[in-house]
Amino acid sequence: MAEYELVVRARRVVTGGGVRPASVAVRDGRIAAVAGFGAALDAARAEELPAGQVLLPGLVDTHVHVNQPGRTGWEGFATATQAAAAGGVTTLIDMPLNSRPPTVSAAALRAKRAAARPRVWVDTGFWGGAVPGNLGTLAGLHGAGVFGFKAFLADSGVPEFGWLRPAELDAALAEVAALDALLIVHAEDAGLLAAAPAAGGRSYRDFLASRPAAAEDAAISALLAAAGRHRARVHILHLASAAALPLIAAARSAGAAVTAETCPHYLTFCAEQVPDGATEYKCCPPIRAAANRDGLWAGLAGGLIDAVVSDHSPCPPALKQRASGDFGAAWGGISSLQLGLPAVWTQARARGHGLAEVVRWMATGPAAVAGLAGKGAIAAGRDADLVAFDDAASFTVDPARLRHRHPVTPYAGRTLTGAVRRCWLRGAEIGAAPAGRLLAREQA
């Protein structure tokens, strides 16, 4: 028998040591060795990427709203994971909302896993939820294998997933600290949102005023203070306000265990470019000004932002209120799961960043945040999740060719650079049938 099942060779391979020619040898679904390009490796099958393609580790997207069960008409595991694979994402973690029931109990997690099991094209894990109704019972959900707990500090947008007031946040932090778990937080201050002008109508400027950056900054400040009191690990979701970066830096300097993510849409778009009535751009927190976008890029470059993930949050087209263009009435969420890698690479290369940085932001970083020790890098011992990426190819986004359920996205008609050509999951090329596994948090 051959020593390895598969060897993939490429003139450019993104490893922890940089980009170099290499051969990646696979045994039992894991990377067994990373050797020189011309190394003599005994393999049952060997493949060499074309000269224009670079081998990346499979991306890890820790912020995906699949919505099944209960709102499968919004998305679903089959469509979401096929879109993920088409975009080079080989591992995703599903958010506890907007499914019904939300993942706030061990029983709800079992229902979620049952819905997902026969339908996943990529490896899939699950976040739990921390809501007013399940505080004090998180240990059971933690023991069932969720990767951590999501909480909102303002209205989540769905009635079955409540948000935490300050005293409830303290209780949740105390509980997750005792479990050595991770609390991931949608940080907007409910009081400041209530005091802001109400959203409504076609004006994007008015919608932006209804979700001011000050609401994000205040919520992050309060979260970091509370996490410090409880010595809890926290992760800030979908950071849109660059003004909060000094708060994160100060907390880390003081020893806080805090990480943060941002999303491709905050790094790609800016408020000045959003047309009135274009509700496909609506998300919460909102896309802010160009100077703020530059600040987020600086935060990435400086290491204050740990991950770039999609926050893929689709809905049926009717809920986007595209006919009226009413930002107040439209569902807030951006569909981008398949497009994250080319969207970020398009902007990154224009700003002088390389593929090794993109891999750190979109594979290694998210895997580290979630505690996925086997994912996110091309290195011996990791899962053989690999992506052949043509980093010079360009294409115009045609929503009809996207694999998520509904063809509504602000990227429609936009020209992006970089195309995923092939994708392997644990050494097997992803094909026409679902072969993903359901993941659980590794027990200590």
Establish if 408 belongs to a structural domain: no
Q: How many angstroms separate the CA atoms of 28 and 7, rounded?
A: 12
Establish if 427 belongs to a structural domain: no
What single DSSP character describes residue 12?
E
37-47 mean pLDDT = 96
Q: How many angstroms separate the CA atoms of 310 and 88, rounded?
A: 12
Could you read off the pLDDT of 250-261 as tens digits, one per residue? 999 999 999 999
pLDDT band, very low/low/confident/very high, at 139 (cuts 50, 70, 90): very high
Q: Can you give the residue range of the structural domain that contains 210?
A: 58-376
Residues in the chain: 444
Q: How many angstroms separate the CA atoms of 31 and 7, rounded?
A: 9
Strand order from edge to edge, sheet including 123-126: 59-64, 89-94, 123-126
Average pLDDT, the chain: 97
Establish if 53 belongs to a structural domain: no
Q: Say if residue 402's pLDDT is above 60.
A: yes
Bridging pattern class, strands 307-308 and 258-262? parallel
Could you read off the pLDDT of 198-217 as tens digits, one per residue? 999 999 999 999 999 999 99
Residue 25, strand partner residues:
7, 33
Show Cβ contacts of residue 167 under 8 Å, excluding neighbours closer than 6 positions. Answer: none
Specify the pTM.
0.98
Show Cβ contacts of residue 35 under 8 Å, excluding neighbours closer than 6 positions. Answer: 22, 23, 25, 41
Residue 441's φ and ψ, nearest 5 degrees, are -60, 135
**Measuring CA to CA, which residue among 96, 92, 101, 233 is closest to residue 175?**
233
**Measuring CA to CA, which residue among 16, 112, 7 is closest to residue 424?**
7
CA distances in angstroms from 6 to 24, 57, 387, listed in the order given:
8, 15, 14
pLDDT, position 407: 87
> What is the CATH classification number for the domain harbouring 230?
3.20.20.140
Establish if 27 belongs to a structural domain: no
pLDDT, position 349: 98
Contact in structure between 307 and 269 (CB atoms under 8 Å): no
Q: How many C-beta atoms lie closer than 10 Å to residue 306's C-beta?
A: 23
pLDDT, position 101: 97
Could you read off the pLDDT of 174-206 as tens digits, one per residue? 999 999 999 999 999 999 999 999 999 999 999
130-147 mean pLDDT = 98
Contact in structure between 150 and 186 (CB atoms under 8 Å): yes
Letter for the amino acid at 315?
C
Establish if 438 belongs to a structural domain: no
Establish if 425 belongs to a structural domain: no
pLDDT band, very low/low/confident/very high, at 444 (cuts 50, 70, 90): low
pLDDT band, very low/low/confident/very high, at 443 (cuts 50, 70, 90): low
19-46 mean pLDDT = 97
Could you read off the pLDDT of 345-399 as tens digits, one per residue? 999 999 999 999 999 999 999 999 999 999 999 999 999 999 999 999 999 999 9
Residue 390, strand partner residues:
53, 419
Count structural domains, the chain. 1
Establish if 91 belongs to a structural domain: yes
Positive or negative: CA dihedral 386, 80, 367, 260: positive
Contact in structure between 81 and 122 (CB atoms under 8 Å): yes
Is the previous residue joined to 98 through a cis bond, with omega within 30 degrees of 0?
yes
Establish if 426 belongs to a structural domain: no
Report the largest interatomic distance among the alpha carbons of the chain, rounded to a whole angstrom.
70
